[in-house]
Amino acid sequence: MRQNVSFFKKVKFMWTYMCKTLESIRGFVCCNCPGTTSEQAGKSASCQGCPNQKLCASGATKAPDPAIAEIGAKLATVKHKILVLSGKGGVGKSTFSAHLAHALASDNTKEVALLDVDICGPSIPRIMGLEGEQVHQSGSGWSPVYVDDNLAVMSIGFLLSSPDDAVIWRGPKKNGIIKQFLRDVDWGELDYLIVDTPPGTSDEHLSIVQYLSSTHVDGAIIITTPQEVSLQDVRKEIRFCHKVKLPIIGVVENMSGFVCPKCKTTSQIFPPTSGGAEQMCADLNLPLLGKVPLDPRIAQSCDEGKSFLSEVPDSPAAKVYQNIVQSIQDYCSNSLTEEQSTTLKH
């Protein structure tokens, strides 16, 4: 009997603890944070209970990071900056980033760079065929690794002794390496800088947006797959973009059906039970850039470090990619024209 009473006391204690923890988490997730640089930082009602309340209230967070201005000066020679985002992992962000870089660099008159800020899961070196390459130091900073004369790549994968090494870092160290990638890499003059990000809306995303705040960022490309389980997280990413005032160029739906290579019939491997990206874009008033069908050769080309667009240029997926890239180029051209017009007015 005593054992049963003791057991039930333990269960009651654990249940109470869990309820309080969940209540605390809901408070942090749902509260309307005024932002660390706001005049209300650390002072508003929503700040109550936040572990960083004292720090924000002290005013220390309002001081601008001097690296922001340095990065702005460093990237002044980069015409277009594009972020590739998704709230969900495994939807093909790195695959899309790599093929976007390849497609833009297919024009030999354009200088393109691909920056991998997925600190814990850097797959860009493998996808770009650069595994085993190393970064070199020069008088003007770190030299990126080149796929072609006009296509440069930077990733933490180049700094690891083995592709199997785990990067076990907390936020501050992640922020530090992203700052170094933007400020200390010798990017030179670029037409396009593509930033491949990890899934989520956390450290890496906040850092990249903050450090690029003194430069013009064309916008973000949101990657998803047709399933609702993916779209749920992608909607969070879209809200993140709105919150940090990051323009959204459009949405790309990967793994959108499978086109049989023989009969050309399209089958839905991942059924869009809630309407897929098309319905989401209609609901949120966002452009749908394209729906890329499944093709096993995309995964094969990534494993082999080759460009799928060069290997199978006439495939249905490659044609969709080409249309998406053209839409992105048109958007960036219009964005640059608008920025120049605004500069002339002021």
Known binding positions: 33, 47, 50, 56, 87-94, 260, 263
Res. 211: pLDDT tops 90: yes
pLDDT of residue 19: 47
Identify the band that residue 58 occupies on the pLDDT scale cut at 50, 70 and 90. confident
pLDDT in tens, 135-173: 988 888 899 999 999 999 999 999 998 989 999 998 889
230 or 267, which is more confident?
Answer: 230
Q: Give the C-alpha separation, 152 to 143, whole Å.
A: 9
pLDDT of residue 88: 92
Res. 25: pLDDT tops 50: no
Q: What is the identity of the amino acid at 209?
A: V
pLDDT in tens, 216-256: 999 999 999 999 999 999 999 999 999 999 999 999 999 99
**Structural domains of the chain ordered from first start:** 30-63 (no CATH), 67-344 (3.40.50.300)
Known binding positions for ATP: 87-94
Res. 11: pLDDT tops 60: no
Residue % of the chain over a pLDDT of 90? 67
Q: Give the C-alpha separation, 111 to 124, whole Å.
A: 18
pLDDT in tens, 60-96: 666 778 899 999 999 999 999 999 999 999 999 999 9
Q: Give the C-alpha separation, 343 to 346, whole Å.
A: 5
pLDDT in tens, 276-304: 999 999 999 999 999 999 999 999 999 99
Known binding positions for [4Fe-4S] cluster: 33, 47, 50, 56, 260, 263
Produce one character per residue of 249-284: b if its CB has 16 or more CB atoms within 10 Å, e if not: bbbbbbbbbbbeeeeeeeeeebebeeebbeebbeee
Find out whether 185 and 141 touch, Cβ atoms under 8 Å: yes
Q: What is the pTM of this model?
A: 0.82
Q: What is the identity of the amino acid at 136?
A: H
The three-state secondary structure class of 184 is: helix
